Amino acid sequence: MNVLDGNALAGDLAEIFAVDVTAARFVCAGCGHADAVATLQLFGHAPASVGRCPECTDVVIRLVRADDRVFLDMRGTVRLELPMSGS
């Protein structure tokens, strides 16, 4: 399987959020590692993607695209810190 980084989620996440979420910081619920979403190790491809922590490989984010909606499961992150525009 080809492993990509979290930047591969940019297009899908841009449809949901008004900011570039790949620049946001996550905190892994498994190990406490904090880093940019862009550093996640991405497994899978459309319609489903799984982003894993680059430190402990726990699942941090799951994104599944359906015909008329997107399912975003973020139970693997303690929090997501989104940058505000202009800051």
CA distances from 8 to 21, 32, 36, 78 (A): 11, 23, 13, 22
Tell me, rounded to whole angstroms, the distance of Cα 28 from its chain centroid: 11
Cα separation, 19 vs 80, whole angstroms: 12
- pLDDT tier at 85, thresholds 50, 70, 90: low
In a domain? residue 87: no
Range(s) of the domain holding residue 22? 4-81
56 or 85: whose pLDDT is higher?
56
Tokens read off for 31: 């190990």
Q: Which residues pair with 6 in a beta bridge?
A: none
In the block, tokens 């490989």 appear at: 57
In a domain? residue 86: no
- Give me Rg for the CA atoms of the chain: 12
pLDDT in tens, 21-44: 888 999 999 999 999 999 999 987
Count up the domains in the chain and report the number.
1
